[in-house]
Chains A and B, each alone.
Chain A
Amino acid sequence: MKIIIVGCGRVGAKLAGDFAEEGHHVSVVDQRQTSFRRLPPGFRGQLVLGTGIDEDVLRNAGIQQADVFIAVTENDNTNIMAAQIAQVIYRVPKVILRIYDPDRAEIYRELGLTVICPTRTVAEMIEHAVRDQILSTQSG
């Protein structure tokens, strides 16, 4: 499969390394050359320097052939715009993006995007852990 990842932070670099390891064709897009240092040694995917909200940059990354598009830059709005370019203009079959802000995450989920909201997910996990602790204290 052809996978494009916009944003080579910790999450982006980890995903890129894992998918390339599994034999997928991975293109990583980031504005800063230094971000590519986060990729694992021997990474065989394509590196594209530029912003993920520029159609020319995304075409260089092969968006016309992409099966999966992942937007995980540090900026919610950049992820939202990049994901909509992939979904609406290039009709990439699977578009996944990260949105930290829970309100915006809900809005774009309603608009048909696959949104991961780490704020909500992490908060829920912590709440679960705390509730488990409360339960075990009460029963113990």
Chain B
Amino acid sequence: MYIIVVGGGKVGYYLTKTLVNEGYEVFLIEKNPTKVQLYRDRFGAIVMQGDGAEVATLAAAGAGRADVVIAVTGDDEDNLVICQVARERFGVRRTIARVNNPKNEELFRRLGIDVTVSQTNVILSLIEQQIPERPFVHLLALRHADLAIVEAKVAAESPVVQQPIWQLPLPPESIITAILRRGELIIPTGQTIIEPGDELIIVTKQQREAELRELLCAPATR
């Protein structure tokens, strides 16, 4: 698999390093000649100086045979154009763009970028998961399938307490995949009885999250 990374900031540098270590064929394009010199000392000839939004630069990097182009510069407009040029001129099948302004995530998807990575949103959700005593946490969104993985702490006054899973009035399209109980992981069956304080890992449709929160978590701590 041949991967072209455009943008040699911190993200681009560590991404290249990781991909090289994992054995991928990688090529890094960076504008700043000083950085290029530095990276050449570390990575060798797989680093090139140039503007990754230019057709000639991508051609010289061998974009025609690239499986993936990843644009991780600090400017959203550059990342967008790099991915679009790679797709339109070189037929690159998979394009991934870093989104610096979270507002642009939806826009990029509508403009045909396969995958967007918003640092701000990723960091926000990581922090969110670490805030203690939050009864309902959105862990992961699987966007193309419109699915979400959420973690919910069962409140003592929830109607699900002391009920077996098969009897729970869960919203449709929701499945409890794991239960964390006093530090232990339980893979539940229909017969598993829910206890107060259980942390449920649930796969659900994104639009069902509000109903789940209502059902499982105490209103006062919401």
* Residues of A68-111 whose CB lies within 8 A of B: 75-78, 80-81, 84-85, 88-89, 101, 103-104, 107, 110-111
* Residues of B96-131 whose CB lies within 8 A of A: 101, 103-104, 107, 110-111
A residues in contact with B75, CB < 8 Å: 77
* Residues of B34-86 whose CB lies within 8 A of A: 53-56, 75-78, 80-81, 84-85
Chain B minimum-CB-distance residue to A111: B88
B residues in contact with A49, CB < 8 Å: none
Given that A77-B53, A78-B77, A81-B81 are contacting pairs, would A107 and B107 also be in contact in the complex, using a CB cutoff of 8 Å? no
B76 close to A81 (CB less than 8 A) = yes
A53 close to B56 (CB less than 8 A) = no
B residues in contact with A67, CB < 8 Å: none
B56 close to A110 (CB less than 8 A) = no
- State in angstroms the CA–CA spacing of A81 and B53 once bound together: 13
Chain B minimum-CB-distance residue to A107: B88
B84 close to A53 (CB less than 8 A) = no
B134 touches A (CB below 8 Å): no
A residues in contact with B84, CB < 8 Å: 80, 107, 111
B181 touches A (CB below 8 Å): no
The count of residues in chain A whose C-beta lies closer than 8 Å to any C-beta of chain B is 20
A residues in contact with B111, CB < 8 Å: 84, 88
B17 touches A (CB below 8 Å): no
Which of A53, A77, A78 has the most CB atoms of chain B within a 10 A radius of its CB? A77
A54 touches B (CB below 8 Å): yes
* Residues of B3-42 whose CB lies within 8 A of A: none
Chain A minimum-CB-distance residue to B56: A103
- State in angstroms the CA–CA spacing of A75 and B89 once bound together: 20
Given that A54-B103, A104-B53 are contacting pairs, would A75 and B77 also be in contact in the complex, using a CB cutoff of 8 Å? yes
Q: Which of B55, B104, B107, B110 is within 8 Å of A103, CB to CB?
A: B55
A77 close to B78 (CB less than 8 A) = yes
A55 touches B (CB below 8 Å): yes
Q: Which of A77, A89, A101 is within 8 Å of B107, CB to CB?
A: A89
A103 close to B54 (CB less than 8 A) = yes
- State in angstroms the CA–CA spacing of A94 and B192 once bound together: 61
A residues in contact with B81, CB < 8 Å: 76-77, 80-81, 104
A residues in contact with B88, CB < 8 Å: 107, 110-111
- State in angstroms the CA–CA spacing of A103 and B90 once bound together: 13
A104 close to B107 (CB less than 8 A) = no
A85 close to B77 (CB less than 8 A) = no
A80 close to B80 (CB less than 8 A) = yes
| Nearest CB on A from B1, distance (A) | 25
A77 close to B103 (CB less than 8 A) = no
* 6 nearest CB pairs, A to B: A103-B55, A77-B77, A81-B77, A77-B81, A78-B77, A107-B88
Please list 5 pairs of residues, one from A and one from B, whose beta carbons are closer than 8 Å in the complex, sorted by A's number. A54-B101, A54-B103, A80-B80, A89-B107, A110-B88
Interface residues of B (CB under 8 A from A): 53-56, 75-78, 80-81, 84-85, 88-89, 101, 103-104, 107, 110-111
